[in-house]
């Protein structure tokens, strides 16, 4: 070991500490946070050091960057935080110990007058490594923790230079260490010292808090480095690839490439493994082996990412590398400048985004006058079900926020599926790009159609008609249904086309999209008013549906006043459990008779017209009307309505754009109604929400209505991007992922059903809350209608604004539907996460009630 002149060290201490000490790592209380979320500061640069393979010099790069940062010309003191999350071969091999020992040597060599406070800390050590580290110098009892780590961490510190003032500080930390010099997942298994990914991320978050606020308080300039183990795709301690393990942080990256023979391929593969996961690679640095690997790398990267070349590293083990670090100084200084500049550009851009967005965006479903700059959410990235959002306070930070809007009802992937979708869509784009669909076939669309007909269309559908979004799928469905109706009722024979008027049978509160035809098929609403659609006439017979919700712990049916329900018994309108609502035995209830009579009378009444007006299609959203306010329609009513329409040869359309693919706990909401449509529309979750794609499924009889000798009889509707390969590939992956119990832990095997995601006791408790009018809980959806005055109710209501802002502070991103608020998760979301969201909501509801009372009292006084 390099011997330091005693003159320059005022102290040097080494000691063991039992692991229950905090090792200078404080854990701030997570007030109001529903989860211990991933977050990191932007007050100073934080970079991850990756490598294309093991043995390429990551630690030398970290050391060189540390020296460059600590010896910078900045007038303020500097601080370097080096973090090694996973270390094997300990204690004989310790990268943090190397940095800790080498930096003082470099500083003494370059500037003997430097002052430095350096520390090195190992937080969790496996029993085998601990025994080797302690050796015969410790006579106390060595205890083992539950996860196989010893009871001791190791800490050492030293001060370089004379005097009380310290110019620079070096903090080195190893989070987890094992004895065997092998991959962390093997070492953890062999030594019985296992650590979950969540524990690694939680401890890394705490380590990254070191130095937070230093620059803001007029203190030191900070740089933090996180050095990974092995290569980009080397497994972590649990077996997860490290590029996946650290993805929730998405820290900017430095890639140590390979300058050896074959290194170009390895470096490009590592780079692509990072970028396809959403990492930003700021620079590539590699050792010079005389092969000029940087030239083809720069050509491949098209100069978008700088490639820096380090001098050849001496192979003599006795070489203390001082000359090499001197020779490499300009490279590390250049790399340091690149990193600082990149960090500054990133933070500047994040800060300016809300203002620029307000200046040039026109957001949908948004009254811009009500959105201040402070209310604009800046989303830096997404990992699984969480946004990573930029917070301005405290010099800025990136923090997780659960996307409880499921990005407007489309999202379902967890982090693992997101990565798989990214990989497979990249493959599909490279293989197919885009190809036109009519009269052609290619593997993604063929597999997608097969999966659809064997899944949501099983037992009734025979054809798949692809389009680009849910509203368009509805337009296509209406054309299909009207043609089928005309053929079945022989209205195309010797009939004056101008004398036929086709309408739909639909439900009040419905919503089927924003295209003109789809809007005509829905009842009058804020979406169809004159301000929104002056052409709207409402070409339908709109029935008033009975609704279901939980009130005060009981599932109740609200029957419209125009239904004659005097003879209905209470037991038929009130249920202890939601399952009773869906029980098919209700077909024999007194309420079923009321529904059947109402449906028959309405269809008969609406068929009378001076013109030849016909109900040419029934269109419904099965069970849940989403945009209408998360209204749950009595499934018995919808089942009887479908049956009556099919008896009258009125084609039935299920709008499952929102409800399909496990949104309501089953693959198709038709399973909850115990009946099948003639036509059904799907989108949103079909692709996992990662790219737009829609499909309209139809029976063979519907298809045959368009078959003939003339092309004019065909269905003349389509788009340039119909059945695009990217969307079909994403759909194939998502459909298979959600219905496989190996990848979806919430799927109940053999039952084609999701487990209950929302805690039933807490749902019931929320339904009793004095500020809650009603609750709906089904599948991935939980919705609450807030109790307000009639004047404050409806889609235009802003009464939930303050509540939702508080929930966003808690890490839950939500948008309202007027005075209705909802939480939406994915098919794979852990019920524990749902429980924590419900608990947070309940807590905030209490505060929301208190705030309202105070405001009311102020007004009265």
Instruction: Tell me the C-alpha to C-alpha distance, in Å, between residue 421 and each of 566, 689, 731.
Output: 54, 10, 9
Cα pseudo-dihedral 472, 715, 538, 592, rounded to 10: -90
Tell me the per-residue pLDDT of 327-384, one tens digit each, with 9 for 90 and over.
999 999 999 999 999 999 999 999 999 999 999 999 999 999 999 999 999 999 999 9
Is 630 a residue whose pLDDT tops 70? yes
Bridge-partner residues for 124, per DSSP?
176
Neighbours of 698 (CB within 10 A): 29
At 273-331, the pLDDT tens digits run 999 999 999 999 999 999 999 999 999 999 899 999 999 999 988 889 999 999 999 99
Q: Please state the rounded mean pLDDT for residues 210-236.
A: 81
Q: Which of 241, 336, 256 is nearest to 297 (CA)?
A: 256
Helix axes 329-360, 58-70, angle to 10 degrees: 80
- Partners of 540 in beta bridges: 504
Q: What is the H or E stretch that residue 355 is in?
A: helix 329-360
Integer Cα distance of 820 and 631 in angstroms: 10
Check: CB of residue 66 under 8 Å from CB of residue 170: yes
Please give the average per-residue pLDDT across 757-782, as a whole number: 97
Cα–Cα distance list, 778 to 119, 559, 631 (Å) = 53, 20, 11
The reported pLDDT for the residue numbered 219 is: 55
With H, G, I as helix, E, B as strand and everything else as coil, classify residue 47: strand
- Measuring CA to CA, how many Å separate 667 from each of 632, 661, 734? 18, 4, 12
Average pLDDT for 684-700 = 97
Closest to 801 (Cα-Cα) out of 363, 371, 362? 371
- Say how many C-beta atoms besides its own lie within 10 A of residue 121's C-beta: 21
Of 728, 721, 726, 695, which is closest to residue 436 (Cα–Cα)?
721
How far from chain centre, in Å, is Cα 211? 29
| Cis amide linkage into residue 91, ω under 30° from 0 | yes
Give the model confidence (pLDDT) of 240-285 as tens digits: 999 999 999 999 999 999 999 999 999 999 999 999 999 999 999 9
Specify the pLDDT at position 565: 81
Token pair of 355 as six digits: 């203002």
Asked if residue 845 has pLDDT above 90, the reply is yes
Q: What are phi and psi of 265, to 5 degrees?
A: -60, -45
Take residue 796 and report the two structure tokens written for it.
């235009």
pLDDT at 4 over 50: no
> And the tokens for 562?
């125009």
**Does the pLDDT of residue 36 top 60, yes or no?**
no
Q: What whole-number distance in Å separates Cα of residue 410 and Cα of residue 405? A: 9
Rg of the chain (C-alpha set): 32
Phi first, then psi: give them for residue 84, nearest 5 degrees. -115, 100
Cα–Cα distance measured from residue 719 to residue 721, given in angstroms and rounded to the nearest whole number: 5
Binned at pLDDT 50, 70 and 90, residue 790 comes out as: confident
101 φ, ψ (degrees, to nearest 5): -85, -35
| pLDDT, position 441 | 97
Residue pair 167/115 in contact by the 8 Å Cβ criterion: yes
CA-based torsion, 237, 239, 241, 246: positive or negative: negative
Q: H or E segment at 301? A: helix 294-301
Q: Which two tokens stand for residue 665?
A: 């706990």
Of the listed ranges 590-599, 717-726, 848-857, the one predicted with least confidence: 848-857
Cα–Cα distance for residue pair 66/225, rounded to 1 Å: 8
Spatial CB neighbours of 17, under 8 Å, sequence gap ≥ 6: 23, 152, 153, 154, 155
Whole-angstrom CA distances from 779 to 207, 556, 667, 687 are: 38, 18, 10, 18
Q: 792-801: per-residue pLDDT in tens? A: 899 999 999 9
List Cα–Cα distances, 9 to 116, 158, 319, 352, 673, in angstroms. Answer: 9, 7, 23, 47, 79
Rounded (10°) angle between helices 58-70 and 95-110: 40
| Tens digit of each residue's pLDDT (9 = 90 or more) over 146-185 | 688 987 778 999 998 876 777 899 999 999 999 999 999 9
Query: What mean pLDDT comes out for the span 684-704?
Result: 97
Q: How far apart are CA 776 and CA 783, in angstroms?
A: 5
């Amino acid at each position: 070991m390099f011997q330091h002149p005693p003159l320059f060290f005022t102290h040097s201490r080494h000691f063991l500490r039992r692991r229950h000490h905090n090792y200078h790592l404080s854990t701030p209380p997570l007030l109001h946070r529903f989860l211990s979320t991933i977050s990191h500061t932007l007050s100073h640069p934080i970079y991850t050091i990756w490598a294309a393979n093991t043995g390429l010099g990551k630690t030398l790069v970290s050391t060189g960057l540390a020296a460059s940062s600590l010896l910078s010309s900045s007038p303020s003191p500097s601080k370097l935080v080096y973090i090694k999350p996973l270390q094997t071969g300990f204690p004989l091999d310790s990268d943090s110990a190397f940095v800790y020992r080498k930096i003082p040597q470099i500083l003494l060599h370059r500037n003997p007058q430097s002052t430095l406070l350096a520390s090195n800390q190992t937080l969790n050590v496996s029993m085998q490594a601990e025994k080797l580290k302690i050796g015969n110098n410790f006579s106390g009892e060595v205890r083992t923790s539950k996860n196989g780590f010893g009871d001791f961490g190791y800490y050492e510190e030293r001060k370089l230079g004379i005097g009380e003032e310290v110019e620079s500080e070096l903090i080195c930390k190893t989070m987890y260490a094992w004895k065997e010099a092998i991959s962390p997942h093997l070492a953890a298994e062999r030594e019985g010292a296992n650590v979950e990914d969540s524990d690694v991320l939680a401890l890394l978050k705490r380590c990254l808090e070191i130095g937070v606020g230093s620059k803001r308080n007029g203190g030191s300039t900070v740089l933090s480095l996180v050095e990974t183990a092995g290569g980009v795709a080397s497994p972590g301690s649990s077996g997860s690839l490290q590029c996946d393990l650290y993805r929730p942080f998405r820290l900017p990256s430095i890639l140590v490439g390979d300058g050896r023979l074959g290194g170009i391929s390895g470096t490009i593969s590592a780079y692509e493994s990072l970028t396809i996961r959403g990492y930003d690679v700021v620079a590539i640095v590699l050792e010079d082996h005389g092969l000029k690997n940087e030239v083809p790398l720069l050509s491949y990267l098209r100069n978008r990412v700088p490639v820096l070349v380090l001098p050849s590293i001496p192979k003599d083990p006795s070489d203390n590398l001082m000359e090499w670090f001197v020779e490499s100084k300009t490279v590390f200084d250049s790399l340091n400048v690149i990193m600082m500049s990149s960090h500054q550009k990133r933070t500047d851009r994040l800060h300016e985004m809300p203002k620029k967005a307000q200046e040039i965006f026109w957001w949908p479903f948004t009254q811009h006058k009500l959105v201040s700059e402070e209310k604009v959410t800046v989303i830096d990235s997404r990992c699984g079900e969480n946004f990573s959002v930029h917070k301005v306070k405290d010099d800025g930070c990136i923090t997780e926020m659960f996307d409880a809007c499921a990005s407007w009802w489309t999202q379902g992937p967890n982090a693992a599926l997101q990565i798989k979708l990214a990989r497979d869509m990249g493959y599909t784009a490279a293989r197919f790009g885009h190809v036109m669909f009519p009269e052609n076939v290619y593997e993604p669309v063929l597999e997608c159609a097969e999966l659809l007909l064997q899944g949501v269309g099983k037992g009734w559908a025979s054809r798949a008609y692809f389009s680009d979004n849910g509203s368009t799928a509805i337009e296509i469905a209406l054309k299909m249904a009207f043609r089928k109706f005309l053929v079945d009722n022989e209205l195309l024979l010797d009939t004056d086309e101008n004398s036929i008027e086709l309408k739909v049978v639909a439900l009040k509160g419905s919503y089927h999209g924003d295209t003109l035809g789809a809007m005509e098929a829905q009842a009058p609403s804020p979406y169809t008013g004159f301000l929104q659609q002056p052409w709207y006439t409402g070409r339908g017979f709109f029935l008033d549906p009975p609704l279901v919700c939980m009130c005060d712990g009981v599932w109740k049916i609200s029957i419209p006043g125009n239904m004659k329900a005097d003879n209905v018994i209470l037991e038929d309108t009130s249920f202890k459990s939601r399952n009773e609502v869906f029980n098919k035995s209700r077909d024999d209830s007194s309420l079923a008779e009321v529904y059947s009579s109402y449906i028959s009378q309405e269809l008969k009444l609406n068929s009378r017209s001076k013109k030849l007006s016909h109900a040419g299609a029934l269109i419904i959203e099965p069970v849940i009307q989403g945009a209408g306010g998360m209204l749950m329609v009595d499934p018995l009513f919808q089942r009887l309505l479908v049956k009556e329409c099919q008896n009258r040869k009125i084609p039935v359309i299920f709008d499952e754009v929102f409800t399909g693919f496990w949104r309501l706990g089953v693959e198709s909401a038709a399973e909850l109604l115990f009946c099948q449509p003639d036509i059904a529309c799907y989108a949103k979750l079909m692709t996992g929400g990662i790219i737009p794609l829609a499909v309209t499924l139809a029976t063979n009889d519907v298809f045959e209505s368009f078959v003939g000798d003339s092309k004019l009889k065909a269905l003349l509707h389509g788009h340039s991007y119909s059945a695009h390969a990217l969307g079909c590939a994403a759909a194939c992956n998502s459909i298979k992922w959600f219905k496989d119990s190996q990848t979806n832990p919430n799927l109940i095997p053999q039952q084609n059903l999701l487990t209950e995601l929302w805690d039933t006791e807490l749902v019931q408790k929320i339904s009793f809350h004095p500020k809650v009018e009603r609750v709906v809980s089904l599948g991935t959806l939980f919705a609450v209608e807030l109790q307000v005055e009639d004047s404050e109710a409806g889609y235009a209501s802003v009464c939930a604004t303050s509540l939702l802002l508080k929930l966003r502070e808690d890490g839950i991103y939500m948008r309202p539907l007027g005075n209705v608020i909802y939480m939406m998760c994915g098919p794979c979301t852990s019920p524990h996460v749902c429980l924590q969201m419900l608990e947070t909501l309940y807590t905030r509801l209490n505060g929301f009630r208190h705030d309202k009372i105070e405001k009311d009292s102020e007004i009265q006084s």
